[in-house]
Structure 1
Amino acid sequence: MAKGKFTECIDDIKTVSQAGNEGQKLLVPASASLYIPGKIVDNNKFTVDIGTGYYVEKSAEAAIAFYQKKVDKLNKESVQIQDIIKEKTQYSLSIEAQIRQAAIRQHEAMSKQQQQQQKRSRLQPR
């Protein structure tokens, strides 16, 4: 979800920073459901949320680079998490196989024991 938002930011910056968009009217989001009419004054300056409530003014190129770095970091972390999940899955499958083998051995031992008891009971005089 975060990756999608950052990618959307990159696309929006590219759109707004195009030469013909200076002076264009737009709606500026004030909250999730409130928009205020606005106008693009300088289409090469963007206010970027850098986290924990801090905002920095950046050029279009710097803002795109900032968000691209975020996307790249998320991609890298995603690959790392997928590798960890694969490793844990392999461990889980290995443990499951060992449990199955132990259950089979236990079942065979119990079966052998029952067969021996049946032989003994047949051999004992009544």
Structure 2
Amino acid sequence: MSGQQIDLTTLPLDTLAQVKKQLDDELEHLTTSFTKLRQAQTRFKECIISVKTGVNDSCAGKTLLIPLTTSLYVPGELSSTSHVMVDVGTGYYVEKTTTDAVKFYAAKVDVLSKSLIELEKVVAQKGQNVRVVEEVIRRRVMEQQQQQGQGGEEKA
């Protein structure tokens, strides 16, 4: 962003419409990104809960349902109640202690929380920009309608 300001009242209506469309598209993209980040944060929080509550000595030797995907589970047994495999991204897994796994996921949640706060500010600013452009468009259209109305009265 260059920080350059443009007087919207000087732009033609078609240009204002293009600016509004661009802002709407950006706002939609940012909102979608916000939703995806929130979902990722929720998944990491669920991982923390799963490690804290699902990996313990009471589970040793018992058959558990192991998730392969979000909707496919297979029966299995824990080989260790002190270590877990952690998905560190792009299909790579690392063995960690349960304590380190919780720390890893908590760090991910913190990073996403900070990103969500910043993104929320950007979304709010873009939303404000859209409202300003819409207001300028409304005023310009009303001015044009008034001018056309006055022009029609003069001809009569």
User: TM-score scaled to structure 2, two decimals?
Assistant: 0.63
Residue of 80, 83, 87 corresponding to 2:125:
87
Measure, in 2, the Cα distance between the counterparts of 1:74 and 1:27. 29
CA shift for structure 1 position 77: 2.2
Q: Deviations over 1:89-115 (max 9, x none)?
A: 111111111111111211222222222
Residue matched to 2:80: 42
2:72 corresponds in structure 1 to: 33
Matches of residues 36-115 of structure 1 in structure 2 within 5 Å?
36-38=75-77, 40-115=78-153
Do the aligned residues in 1 keep the contact of 2:65 with 2:73 (CA within 8 Å)?
Answer: no
Q: Please say which of residues 12-21 and 60-69 is displaced more in the overlay.
A: 12-21
Distance in 2 between residues matched to 1:54 and 1:28, nearest whole Å: 18
Partners of 2:68 and 2:132 lie apart in 1 by 53
Which structure has the higher relative contact order (CA within 8 Å, separation 6+)? 2
Cα deviation for residue 46 of structure 1 reads: 1.2
Query: CA separation in 1, counterparts of 2:75 and 2:127?
Result: 50
Instruction: Tell me, yes or no, if the aligned pair for 1:16 and 1:43 is still in contact at 8 Å.
Output: no
Unaligned runs of 5+ in 1: 119-126
The structure that is strand-richer by fraction is 1
Q: Distance in 2 between matches of 1:117 and 1:101?
A: 25
Identity in percent: 30
**Alignment partner of 1:3 is 2:48:** no
Q: Could you tell me whether the CA contact under 8 Å between 2:63 and 2:75 is conserved in 1?
A: no
User: Whole-Å Cα distance in 2 between the matches of residues 100 and 58 of structure 1?
Assistant: 59
Q: CA RMSD in A?
A: 2.2
Q: How many equivalent residue pairs? A: 117
